[in-house]
Amino acid sequence: MELMSHSSAFLLPTIPPDHRPSLTYALVVLNQRLPRFTPLLWDCAHLHLCADGGANRVYDEMPLLFPDEDPSDVRSRYKPEVIKGDMDSVRKDVLDFYANLGTKVVDESQDQDTTDLHKCIEYIRDFKSDIDKSKICILVAGALGGRFDHEIGNINVLCRFSSMRIILLSDDCLIHLLPRTHHHEIHIQPSVEGPHCGLVPIGMPSRSTTTTGLQWDLDKTEMSFGGLISTSNIVKEEKITVRSDSDLLWTISIKKQ
């Protein structure tokens, strides 16, 4: 089985050369308070999408992260290439502002069966480019905390698009999928993440999961909702390995600095 490597190097203020990822990042901003490190994510991403009301957050809150700068300078610097969604949350003044700067607006108000995040992931999946799709990693800002139906909808997107690399982020933690099709190596960035972490089976129970590098390692352990799941675990090494017969969610805390 092939090995898949994971790293949160995108959270480092400057990515050291030996950590420079072979991945190309895309950023999706959701309609939740912007995480404080959103400018870092923005700068490392090549494509920037706002899911519907996420555009209000970029317009209103990006300038607050640069209190010494003129808000209009900040707004023109952080211009999304795309705003996509059912358009029931983005304000008209915000839509007009970005449309005038050249942002592409994709109105999918007819689709009330998929979330705005889902619509944005489809846009990136179908986006015509020379970049190898398996090398794209989608960072989703503002995906956790807040309304639980939205959170669980965001986690469902990880499962709907399980062959894509998608990382859900809030100020406090990140979550991504470890698909059962691969073995996994997670390279911890101790200056910005950990030590609290969790491994949770999603979709179906795991009959066997084995890990190294955690305080409470699993050794061909069964996990299921209603039975054992690994929460409040602690990373002990800079490299964590995970092998499982089912899809798992990996979650790790983000340091406050």
Ligand X SMILES: Cc1ncc(C[n+]2csc(CCO)c2C)c(N)n1
Ligand Y SMILES: Nc1ncnc2c1ncn2[C@@H]1O[C@H](COP(=O)(O)OP(=O)(O)OP(=O)(O)O)[C@@H](O)[C@H]1O
Residues of this chain that interact with ligand Y (CB under 6 A) are 30-32, 51-54, 85-86, 88-89, 115-117, 143, 146-147, 150-151, 153-154
Nearer to ligand X, 146 or 205 (CB): 146
Which one, 15 or 105, has the nearer CB to ligand X? 105
DSSP 237: S
**Residue in this structure with the two tokens 């920037």, named with its chain if needed:** 48
Question: What part of residues 82-101 is at the interface with ligand X (CB under 6 A)?
Answer: 86
- Report the residue closest to ligand Y, judged by CB: 146
Segment 129-135 long-range contacts (CB within 8 Å, at least 24 positions apart): 131/24, 131/46, 133/164, 135/22, 135/23, 135/24
CA 205, 211, 217, 219 dihedral sign is positive
Residue 149 binds to ligand X (criterion: CB under 6 A): no
Report the residue number, 113 or 126, with the smaller CB distance to ligand X.
Answer: 113
Nearest partner of 178 among 199, 196, 204, judged by Cα? 199
**Binds 193: which of ligand Y, ligand X, none (CB < 5-8 Å by kind):** none
Q: Is 232 in the site for ligand X (CB under 6 A)?
A: no
221 binds ligand X (CB under 6 A): no
CB 51 within 8 A of CB 119: yes
Nearest distance from C-beta of residue 178 to ligand X, angstroms: 26
The first and second tokens of residue 206, run together, are 């795991």
Footprint of ligand X on this chain (CB under 6 A)?
86, 112-116
